[in-house]
Structure 1
Amino acid sequence: MNLIEAVLWDMDGVLIDSEHLVQQAFTEVMLATDYMDDPAQKYLETVGFNRASTVNWYLPYVGSREIAEELYSKVHDTYIELSKTQLKLKAGVVEALKTVQYMGIPQMVVTSTRTEVALLKLARFNILSYFEDVLGGDQVSKGKPHPEPYITGANRLKVPTKNALVIEDSENGVKSGVAAGCMVLHMPDLINTKLEWNNVIYGALDSLESFPEWLSSKQFGMWV
């Protein structure tokens, strides 16, 4: 069993209920083009990507980086408008963060969102102070599903990756955490927990509302 020495939180889809808004924005923009069928389903492939990875993902569909960058910007702008009135925290976030803090475990955010934007989002909901650091997608050379984000996060908190608990909603994020050698807890949002993950993740919870009890059951940081 491994001692939990740090908690590394994904942000969008775990702490902040934003992924469905991005999916809505993506779908609206794509439906105005003829680049792909069923854009709402296609969007799921990109959950957890940073900007560079998302732009690269567009390329086989659109054929040029200029168009890919333009579409990324349109989706982003559409999302920003939606988020002005519809963005909210996921259920149970504050109590989950308080529980980790009470247990004396350092925590930080490891997100694919640009750092500047992530800081604004976290401050908007008054939860920024819970975190020792925020690692954005612009601070790594390779984004999720590559392990670099979570290896970097664990290094910043000066803990071995095997002692870092990663909390993720996306398949790309789960792959990143597992590849980094972290303990991964899946919190389904747009993507359900997959059966093939059973042997590589430490568990899954339907809501952060269950997280305080779940974490406490690990004997204040010990896996049992």
Structure 2
Amino acid sequence: MGSVSSKPSAVLWDMDGTLVDTEPYWMSAETALVEFYGGTWTHEDALELVGSGLHGSAVILQRHGVRMEADAIVQRLTDDVAARLRTEGVPFRPGARALLSELKAEGIPSALVTMSLKRMAREVVALIDFPAFELVLGGDEAPRPKPHPDPYLQAARMLGIDIADAVVIEDSMTGVAAGRASGAVTLGVPHIVPLDGSAAHELWPSLDGRTVADIRALHARHSKEAA
């Protein structure tokens, strides 16, 4: 057998909409909260928040009539979504669990880099039936949220790798922008919002059927242009 490249050194996963299909949970929680205060929250309103930092989202919810402090809004939404996860389980996106498992078997670290709170990310990770992630980085730990590159740069530092040796997997425009700005090879897997015109190096319609060999080939194709 010929030698196989060890690159990428890590795969950095977004969570909501990329790893797990929790966006409907967030939308439901947002709708309930706005309507409790007598406001209206449409599907289009919810789409604007996909991929955004939670505090930025809280400010938008305040503009729709939610009379709570931003921190309280974040905690309330997180509680609601976490409760759904505990009762309904982890709704993996197609192919995500299989790819995570194969990365683990191949010795390629995975990190979860999310704009959700760290405690929410831990809820998701705790419900996965194998130790999938070497690192979990929550939105309350990054100096600046996506689309800034800070979360991915921070994850790379914590893993002790060069960001150029990483692959980022994202489902939102803001997430793709963060991955690309960080210098990582950035893969877009659209879900609720289209990614046409995004900065992703490649767009895959799904992770279903994708393997570590595909991820290695993706990195090899784009690593020199990632920065």
| TM-score of the pair, normalised by structure 1 | 0.82
Counterpart in the other structure of 1:144:
146
Alignment partner of 1:98 is 2:94: no
Q: How far did 1:136 drift?
A: 0.9
Cα separation, 2, equivalents of 1:165 and 1:189: 18
Q: How does 1:1-224 map to 2 (within 5 A)?
A: 3-33=7-37, 35=39, 39-62=42-65, 66-87=68-89, 88-127=91-130, 129-194=131-196, 196-197=197-198, 200-212=199-211, 215=214, 218=217, 222-223=220-221
* SS of alignment partner, residue 111 of structure 2: strand
Cα separation, 2, equivalents of 1:83 and 1:139: 22
Letter in 2 for 1:92: G
Cα separation, 2, equivalents of 1:59 and 1:53: 10
Cα separation, 1, equivalents of 2:78 and 2:122: 17
Cα separation, 1, equivalents of 2:142 and 2:19: 21
Letter in 2 for 1:222: A
Letter in 2 for 1:209: D
Gaps of 5+ in 2: 1-6, 223-227
Cα separation, 2, equivalents of 1:143 and 1:213: 28
Matched length: 215
| TM-score of the pair, normalised by structure 2 | 0.81
* SS of alignment partner, residue 186 of structure 2: strand
Cα separation, 1, equivalents of 2:66 and 2:32: 20
Cα separation, 2, equivalents of 1:86 and 1:28: 18
Gaps of 5+ in 1: none
Alignment check: 8 A CA contact 2:12 2:113 kept: yes
Quickly say closer, same or farther: Cα 1:58–1:31, change in 2 above 3 A.
closer
Q: Which range moved further: 110-119 or 82-91?
A: 82-91
Where in structure 1 do 4 or more consecutive aligned residues deviate above 6 Å?
A: none
* SS of alignment partner, residue 223 of structure 1: helix
Between 1 and 2, higher relative CO (CA 8 Å, sep ≥ 6) is seen in 1
Cα separation, 2, equivalents of 1:216 and 1:113: 25
RMSD of Structure 2 on Structure 1 (CA): 2.6
